[in-house]
């Protein structure tokens, strides 16, 4: 009954399918360490970049420090029609990067 409600996201498959990782932390946080190949778009800039992000036509995995800002970014992007996921803390994505 709860299987679909608590379905785990297959980040490895999303990345294999061409997903991009958007790190919504500040530029300073991003400079201190980030997922290789990720794009830094701080959360306050997400709404201004939504059209550009949507034009990529690939899944988007949002990450931050704890999962709070990435959750907000995911919700904003989903509302705009982007196939977006909350990856949580950026360090959680490191095992999925080749």
CATH T-level topology, domain 11-96: Oxidized Rhodanese; domain 1 (3.40.250)
Give 39's strand partners: 22
User: Is residue 83 within 8 Å of 60, Cβ to Cβ?
Assistant: yes
pLDDT digits (tens, 9 = 90+) for 41-83: 999 999 999 999 999 999 999 999 999 999 999 999 999 999 9
Domain range summary for the chain, segments of one domain joined by +: 11-96
pTM for this predicted structure: 0.92
For 38-51, write each residue's pLDDT tens digit.
999 999 999 999 99
Tell whether the model's pLDDT for residue 7 goes beyond 90. Answer: no
96 secondary structure, DSSP code: G
Average pLDDT over residues 27-31: 98
pLDDT at residue 6 tops 80: no
Please give the pLDDT value at position 9: 93
Residue with tokens 């679909």: 4
Are 40 and 49 spatial neighbours (Cβ–Cβ below 8 Å)?
Answer: no
């Amino acid at each position: 009954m709860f299987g679909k409600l608590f379905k785990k996201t297959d980040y490895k498959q999303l990345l294999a399918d061409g997903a991009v990782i958007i790190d919504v932390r500040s530029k300073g946080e991003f400079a201190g360490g980030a997922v290789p190949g990720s794009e830094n778009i701080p959360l306050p800039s997400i709404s201004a970049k939504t059209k550009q992000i949507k034009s990529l036509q690939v899944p988007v995995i949002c990450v931050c420090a704890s999962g709070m800002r990435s959750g907000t970014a995911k919700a904003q992007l989903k509302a705009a029609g982007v196939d977006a996921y909350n990856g949580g803390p950026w360090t959680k994505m490191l095992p999925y990067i080749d």
